[in-house]
Amino acid sequence: MKRKLYTFTAILLFFPTLFFSSCKKDEAPKADLAAIKKEWVTGSWKQKDIQLGVSTNVNVPGVGKIPLKEGMSMLDDPTINALLTGAVGANPFVYTRNNIYDFNSDGSYEVDGVVDFGGGTRLLAGGYGTWDSEVYGSVLALFPEKDQRDPHWINNITASQLNLAISVSLPGLGDVPMKLLLEKQ
């Protein structure tokens, strides 16, 4: 008799649980993070800084190895200014200090400022083109020409700040990873 009572009690507990767990709850729509990032990117951004993206050592003849640390400013650091001035005659990055990046909602962009430094050094993004958000909103892809893609990985984005990982090709050094720091205008 006890066994039948336990079986009956188990059945009574099982069916209501099954009934309530099978009801579908209304779920709030999930936010599309890529769309939110694209919305945040749209607008006008002023360049705050360009920083070295990785730590490294540079071997200077007659001086030896000079350590360069991640996060050193390509605009203001005296060591980097001296190295670039000695290598190419001037620090080309200081000319980009006031660059403004306009990312329009129609998918076009324009860089107002210096994009060509001479001597083969220039921003791959050029002065204008189209842009799109790729890889689930993790990449800001710039297309200065139809068949040319310049990816900028989004390290961090808020409504007022944008931190991009970029690669800059420097004659004699190759591609150098850097961080482009922008502030919303």
Q: Is the residue at 28 inside a domain?
A: no
Instruction: Supply the range of the domain harboring residue 75.
Output: 34-184
Look up the pTM and report it.
Answer: 0.77
**Each residue's pLDDT tens digit, 70-101:** 999 999 999 999 988 887 788 888 989 999 99
Q: Is the residue at 167 inside a domain?
A: yes
CATH number at residue 137: 2.40.128
Return the higher-pLDDT residue of 36 and 8.
Answer: 36
Q: Is the residue at 18 inside a domain?
A: no
**Distance of CA 46 to CAs 19, 87, 145, 162, 176, Å?**
58, 28, 23, 10, 22
Q: Is the residue at 82 inside a domain?
A: yes
Q: Is the residue at 22 inside a domain?
A: no
- d(Cα 34, Cα 52) in Å, to the nearest integer? 27
Q: Is the residue at 12 inside a domain?
A: no
Domain count for the chain: 1
